[in-house]
Copies of this chain bind each other. A is one copy, B any other.
Amino acid sequence: MSQKTVKIGLIGLGTVGAGVAKILLEESGQILQKTGLNIELARIVDKDIKSQRPVKLPKGMLTKNLDALINDKSIDIAVELVGGTGFAKDLHIKLLESGKHVVTANKALLAEHGNELYRVARKNNTCIAFEASCAGGIPIISAIRTGLAANKIEAIYGIVNGTCNYILTNMTKKGLSFKAALKKAQQKGFAEADPTLDINGHDSAHKLVIMASFAFGYEFKIEDVHIEGIESISIDDIRYAEELGYVLKLLAIAKNETDGTISLRVHPSFLHKECALARVDGSFNAVSIFGSAVGQTMFYGRGAGMMPTASAVVSDIIDVALGNSVTTFNSLKLKGRSEIESKIGNIQTLTKRFYIRLMAKDEPGVFSKYSKILGDNNISISGALQHEGTGPENTVPVVITTHPTKQENIDKAIKQLTKATFISGKPVCIRIVDIPEDNID
């Protein structure tokens, strides 16, 4: 077997960057033996060259000199791990124009400017590889583009934000409040000091745009995604839904709807407790993909963290070095925006199931009053739960699950219920997602 030497330049020596450096420096022998590739980490650039990192670097490898890396013609592959969408975008363009392939974990950048960057890459006969941008160590991009290539993708359901899943698992299994669960996630290192992008659903939406673009073959944008986060989830609703057999997850969904549109959405979702995704706990990620030939699949693993994400980055480096990523990248064509507009579903017209919780005044006739409002709006009740005992201000919590209902009907009913004198405050409304599990019998 012939050997091939490939030189790597790494930009950004944070947590994941240090993991990548560690694998490239410590496992190069193993990689050479397995693949015939002599992968050589040549340069590392970071603005901080002083802090201790959990990897021992050869002297002089780490510098602040980004231009030297960009201008180094001997470097074949650049690994961008600086994050963000401003500086990183310019950097990608410079690297691609200098003839380097780029490996990245930067989901925000690709979700917002990916289509432009893919064009720059194609123009320069280079490629962008981004396995690490979605679901950490889980090889989901490879599954979508290669392993399931024979399929028309029908739906993607993903738990792709480890921070949110860790928080929801701790609320569900340990009874912590949202605030306490978030604090624990931060203490354990699963949540950033500023967790906004995670808990408001935008991080999941970034990953969804990337997965859905290559699964469905369209240049999707972040604006195509309906996004709701988990900031206002109450432990009460997790408990009531548990009694009805549901578990709460933040799902990223891309789906061929029955009306011919593709819906892209991130929102808190009640899943039936027996469903495979409902059992994905802690900081784990999982993505369930439904294909026309393969049926249901699920891919499960660590969605973040130093080594799992580094695993995906280095696997990409190997695939780029072999030449496969370039071929795959060039073979995949996404349909442009002009073909997309009519395909994007409007969440207002989708017909789905809902969980509604209202605090009703504990007095005669109330039951018939709120159920009349639901009926008047064409909402059919599937299940209901009203415990004895009172909430604040002589109210009782009433929990209702609906049959499939149009979003606009639900919105109208919630508006009327919020105004009603026999209801205290605004009702809580959370979507129920019925994942079509394949029959096991």
Chain A: residues with CB nearer than 8 A to chain B? 1, 19, 23, 27, 30-31, 33-37, 131, 137-139, 142-143, 146-152, 169, 217, 276, 279, 281-284, 291-302, 307-308, 310-315, 317-319, 322-324, 327-328, 330-333, 438-441
Contact of A294 among B37, B147, B308, B327 (CB under 8 A): B308
Q: Which of A142, A311, A322 has the largest count of B CB atoms less than 10 A from its CB?
A: A311
Q: Would you call B284 and A311 a contact (CB within 8 A)? A: no
CB neighbours (8 Å) of A169 from chain B are: 440
A274: nearest residue on chain B (CB-CB)? B279
CB neighbours (8 Å) of A143 from chain B are: 139, 142-143, 147
Q: Would you call A138 and B328 a contact (CB within 8 A)? A: no
Give Cα A333–Cα B152 distance, bound, in whole angstroms: 34
Give Cα A169–Cα B313 distance, bound, in whole angstroms: 38
CB neighbours (8 Å) of A149 from chain B are: 31, 34-35, 314-315, 318-319
Q: Would you call B328 and A324 a contact (CB within 8 A)? A: yes
Q: Would you call B302 and A137 a contact (CB within 8 A)? A: no
CB distance from A149 to the nearest CB of B (A): 5
- Could you list 20 further interchain pairs (A-B, Cβ under 8 angstroms) beyond the known A294-B308, A324-B327? A1-B330, A19-B293, A27-B152, A35-B149, A35-B331, A138-B147, A146-B318, A150-B311, A150-B314, A279-B279, A281-B440, A282-B440, A283-B440, A295-B302, A296-B302, A299-B299, A299-B300, A300-B300, A302-B438, A322-B327
CB neighbours (8 Å) of A438 from chain B are: 284, 302
| Integer count of this chain's copies in the complex | 2
Known: A27-B150, A302-B438. A293 touches B36 (CB 8 A): no
Known: A142-B143, A327-B324. A294 touches B311 (CB 8 A): yes
Q: Would you call A293 and B308 a contact (CB within 8 A)? A: yes
Q: Would you call B301 and A333 a contact (CB within 8 A)? A: no
CB neighbours (8 Å) of A33 from chain B are: 217, 333
Give Cα A73–Cα B395 distance, bound, in whole angstroms: 80
Q: Would you call B293 and A314 a contact (CB within 8 A)? A: yes
CB distance from A218 to the nearest CB of B (A): 11
Known: A1-B330, A137-B297. A324 touches B146 (CB 8 A): yes
Known: A27-B152, A34-B149, A327-B322. A293 touches B307 (CB 8 A): yes
13 interchain pairs (CB within 8 A)?
Answer: A1-B330, A30-B152, A34-B333, A37-B331, A138-B147, A139-B148, A150-B310, A150-B311, A151-B311, A281-B440, A297-B299, A322-B328, A322-B331
Q: Would you call A147 and B142 a contact (CB within 8 A)? A: yes
Q: Which of A27, A293, A438 has the largest count of B CB atoms less than 10 A from its CB?
A: A293
